Structure 1
Amino acid sequence: MSVQYASTTEAAFLLNISTGRLRTLLNQGRVRDACKVKRLWQIPLNKRGMPEITPGRRGPEGTWNKNKRTGNTFIHVLRKTIDYNRDNGTSHPAVAVKVGDKKDYCHALKINGPCQIVYQPHQPNKSQAGGARLWIEVEPQHILKRVYFSDGDYGPPPEVVEQRAKSQKKKSKKKGNNRST
């Protein structure tokens, strides 16, 4: 059986830690058999599909992924990103994956297990900006395999960045109005 490798983003998701924390563990040499090829890390997965972390010498025992996820995973196709990519000749990730309060963006997904497509035009999902009306739900025990089309870690697509900037402006205006009164 061949060894499967994960990127830093995928491995961090599997371990339920941030990519920054994973990079710290990688730089400390605590991720078993991980190697750096040029500027990208290749992190091997064990038989259970998880990276192996060696324990540190001090502090409390690590808690990565000991607690199983209890909430469903929500997958959204970002229509505005698709339009933006078409109009600007770009290829930003157009799939949003939300697990709890963490959100990740990718180009494609492989879902290992059952899932369902939900369409609620009159009761949008309020957890998404603008209220999503169509999404895919995956039960918590099923692992998703994310696919990225080019090197590097991806942040939010352009329209998500714009939306966040607008909401920050609104918040700062409200704070400014509260201070003047």
Structure 2
Amino acid sequence: MLVIGTTEAAYMLGINCQRVRQLLAERRVKGAYKDGREWKIPLYKKMVDIIPGTRGPKGRWRHRLQARPTYIHVNKHIIDSNRNRRENQPVIKVDRAKHSKYCHEVEITGPCRVVYRPHQPLCSGAVLWIEVEQSTRVITKLYG
């Protein structure tokens, strides 16, 4: 059985690490155990299994793997604006299933491909982007 840590579990569930640790403290992550100082979380059907709470609102994490790939593209309008105004706004857009995030640096830890389609742009209008598989982890960094 494949075992992952809290950071990978947070990425798969689409929530932050602190919320995963809170669920672990409440014993709501099925099969999770602590090995020294690290949590080991088993995967069931390639996904983390969370036991639902008895009270309060329903959990808002992913229950199955992300269906569409992650898209990464550079916003040239923000680059021009940064150059003209001498600012440092983030220009790289990481587009996941329902969420998008701007950042300064992206690290891709697995397979990806660069796509150029001038006649079939994305919804945002991008014609050149990087397509990352759903199982690949994408680490974003923001500089102040």
Alignment TM-score, normalising by the size of structure 2: 0.64
Q: Give 1:45-60 correspondences, 5 Å limit.
A: 46=39, 58-59=55-56
Which residue in the other structure is 1:72 paired with? 69
2:70, 2:141 → 1: CA distance? 16
The Cα shift of 1:58 comes to 2.1
Which amino acid counterpart does residue 116 of structure 1 have in structure 2?
Answer: R
1:140 to 124, 130, 134: 134
Which residue in the other structure is 1:120 paired with? 117
Which residue in the other structure is 1:109 paired with? 106
Higher percent of residues as helix: 1
Which amino acid counterpart does residue 30 of structure 1 have in structure 2?
Answer: Q
**Higher radius of gyration, 1 or 2:** 1
Which residue in the other structure is 1:39 paired with? none
Aligned residues: 119
Alpha carbons of structure 1 residues 46 and 148: separation in structure 2 relative to 1, 3 Å: farther
Query: Given that residues 71 and 95 in structure 2 are in contact (C-alpha distance below 8 angstroms), is that contact kept between their aligned partners in structure 1?
Result: yes
Which residue in the other structure is 1:36 paired with? none
The Cα shift of 1:64 comes to 2.3
Q: What is the CA RMSD across the aligned residues, in angstroms? A: 3.5
Query: Given that residues 32 and 54 in structure 1 are in contact (C-alpha distance below 8 angstroms), is that contact kept between their aligned partners in structure 2?
Result: no
Alignment gaps of 5+ in structure 1: 34-44, 151-181
Alignment gaps of 5+ in structure 2: 26-37, 42-49
Off by >4 Å, runs of 4+ in structure 1 = 11-14, 45-48, 53-57
Q: Alignment identity in percent? A: 37
Which amino acid counterpart does residue 99 of structure 1 have in structure 2?
Answer: R
The Cα shift of 1:114 comes to 0.6
Alpha carbons of structure 1 residues 135 and 14: separation in structure 2 relative to 1, 3 Å: same
Whether 1:16 aligns to 2:50 is no
1:90, 1:5 → 2: CA distance? 35
Query: Given that residues 30 and 55 in structure 1 are in contact (C-alpha distance below 8 angstroms), is that contact kept between their aligned partners in structure 2?
Result: no
